[in-house]
Structure 1
Amino acid sequence: MAQLARLKERINEEIPLTRALGVTFSDYTGDSIIARAPLASNHNHQGTGFGGSLYAVAVTAAWSLLELWLEARGLMGRVIIQSGTMDYGLPVSNNFHARCTLPSEEDMQRFARSVERRGKGRVCLESTVFVDEGGSAFPAATFSGRFVVIKGEDGPDT
């Protein structure tokens, strides 16, 4: 999908860490996205997924989904992570992906109204990190974060 290729090119330029992580995107539906990463670029000294890499890929999935959602609605602004936590349940022993899904349509409408009326809005997003194992995926970690969008005229910004 050309839209995801443009997104990958953009984040690799604006967020160089994503290039080092090997982040790619798939399965964008408008209300969810998957950010994928190889274990080979993201392992720790024990050969499992480095916690910081898992966190970065989970944040990247959420940030990217919000960017695409804003773009689809013609809303311009800077997307900034305000806070985030990560719960690690299982070691990541293979390639992995993070899936982020938007909250309810009602929550997103409230968020959009806030951006339009006040020039700023906050929304909480969650990403689940899955380990890819032999055609199946197992949940390994969960990211929860609050993102702020500050309305602007100069387009999306990191």
Structure 2
Amino acid sequence: MTQLGRFQKRIHDAIPITRALGIEVLDYDGRALLVSAPLEPNHNHQGTGFGGSVYSLAVTSAWGLIELAIADMGLKGNVVVQSGSIDYLTPVEGNFYALCRLPAGEVPDRFRKSLARHGKGRLALHADVYCGEPTMEPRGAPVATFQGRFVVQDTVSRPVL
């Protein structure tokens, strides 16, 4: 099983609603994570994307990006969303996807140092949600934008100094 396949299984096992929403992990390049969801199980009474589903996809992309990035750093940690907000810009009229990128393409030094020294770090991330065929290089405007702040607690025990 590939890294993304294992991560897909982990997300569905750890966060059952992601299975119900049909969230799929599509691509990860070390700097960005691409996830998608079909409109069919996620529509509202208007036939457009339900706001809670759009939010869930966006927060999953950001949470997942941090999970994968800290694993790349050889660390294990508990990642939780501390705060988040989303702006719905236009109706979601078809299948949709979220793309979350690390700030400046990498894990910030401040976050790395805080996690290494204190076993805890905070990271603010931005994810965009688009309609259409999922891609790491979207061409159109996003239908929603998410801003979130995440906390990571290192699960590696540290010696008492």
TM-score normalized by the length of structure 2: 0.89
Deviations 1:73-131 (A, max 9, x none): 11111001000000000000000000000012676221011011011110100110001
1-structure distance, mates of 2:106, 2:6:
29
CA separation of 1:24 and 1:106: change in aligned 2, threshold 3 A:
closer
Query: Kindly, what percent of the aligned residue pairs are identical?
Result: 51
Deviation of the 1:8 alpha carbon: 0.7
Within the alignment, does 1:150 sit opposite 2:153 as a pair? yes
SS of alignment partner, residue 10 of structure 2? helix
How do 1:109-128 and structure 2 match up within 5 A? 109-128=109-128
In the alignment, is the contact (CA less than 8 A) between 1:132 and 1:138 conserved in 2? Answer: no
In the alignment, is the contact (CA less than 8 A) between 1:131 and 1:138 conserved in 2? Answer: no
Q: Which amino acid aligns with 1:140?
A: V
Aligned to 1:77: 77
CA separation of 1:106 and 1:64: change in aligned 2, threshold 3 A:
closer
2-structure distance, mates of 1:46, 1:88:
15
In the alignment, is the contact (CA less than 8 A) between 2:4 and 2:27 conserved in 1? Answer: no
In the alignment, is the contact (CA less than 8 A) between 1:94 and 1:132 conserved in 2? Answer: yes
Query: How many pairs are equivalent?
Result: 153
What is the Cα-based RMSD across aligned positions, in Å?
A: 1.8
In the alignment, is the contact (CA less than 8 A) between 1:121 and 1:148 conserved in 2? Answer: yes
How do 1:7-156 and structure 2 match up within 5 A? 7-104=7-104, 108-132=108-132, 137-153=140-156
Unaligned runs of 5+ in 2: none
Within the alignment, does 1:2 sit opposite 2:5 as a pair? no
Q: Which amino acid aligns with 2:155?
A: G
Deviations 1:48-71 (A, max 9, x none): 000000000000000001000000
Deviates more, 1:104-113 or 1:58-67: 104-113
In the alignment, is the contact (CA less than 8 A) between 2:69 and 2:107 conserved in 1? Answer: no
SS of alignment partner, residue 123 of structure 1? strand
